[in-house]
């Protein structure tokens, strides 16, 4: 197990860091752009003189629903990025202690680690609703 942890850690840390960057930077920026674009369209609809009050109300309802959907996606991305960080930190901790960790310690660590991951999954699942 020690050799596996030693061999895997550098590549795993790079992979997880890149994944976290993609989610937190690229996808977040994409969703921010989408929010701004949606807002511009919404404002344009509100000042449109040919639309009835009902159509403007419908546009408002649609805007806030889409905004809520985007916010939910942003929250999901944040939770997913946090989970990637937890995985990276957990593996780094295993790596740092690889020479002094016993089988019993490994088991206890993995149980704690699994609990942390389960907590993140629960948060993510709540955001899906």
What mean pLDDT value characterizes the chain? 87
Measured at the alpha carbon of residue 43, what is the angle toward residues 65 and 62, in degrees to the nearest 5?
Answer: 20
Structural domain boundaries, residue 109: 2-128
- The beta-carbon contacts of 15-20 under 8 Å, at least 24 apart in sequence, are 16/84, 16/85, 16/87, 16/88, 16/91, 17/88, 19/84, 20/81, 20/84, 20/85, 20/88
Q: 124 with 80: CB under 8 angstroms?
A: yes
**Tokens 């690229």 belong to which residue?**
26
In this prediction, residues 7-31 reach a mean pLDDT of 90
Global pTM reads: 0.72
pLDDT digits (tens, 9 = 90+) for 82-121: 888 888 988 888 888 888 877 777 777 778 777 877 887 7
pLDDT confidence of residue 91:
85
End-to-end alpha carbon distance in the chain: 39
How many independent structural domains does the chain possess?
Answer: 1
**pLDDT higher than threshold 80 for residue 49:** yes
pLDDT at position 1: 67
């Amino acid at each position: 197990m020690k050799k596996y942890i030693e061999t895997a850690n550098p590549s795993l840390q790079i992979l997880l860091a890149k994944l976290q960057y993609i989610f937190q930077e690229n996808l977040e920026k994409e969703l921010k752009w989408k929010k701004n674009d949606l807002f511009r369209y919404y404002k344009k609809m509100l000042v449109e003189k040919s639309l009835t009050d009902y159509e403007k109300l419908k546009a408002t309802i649609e805007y806030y629903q889409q905004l809520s959907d985007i916010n939910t996606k942003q929250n999901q991305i944040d939770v997913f990025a946090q989970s990637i960080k937890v995985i990276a930190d957990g593996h780094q901790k295993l790596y740092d202690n690889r020479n002094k960790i016993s089988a019993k310690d490994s088991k206890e660590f993995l149980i704690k680690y699994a609990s942390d991951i389960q907590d993140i999954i629960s948060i993510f699942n709540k955001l899906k609703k």
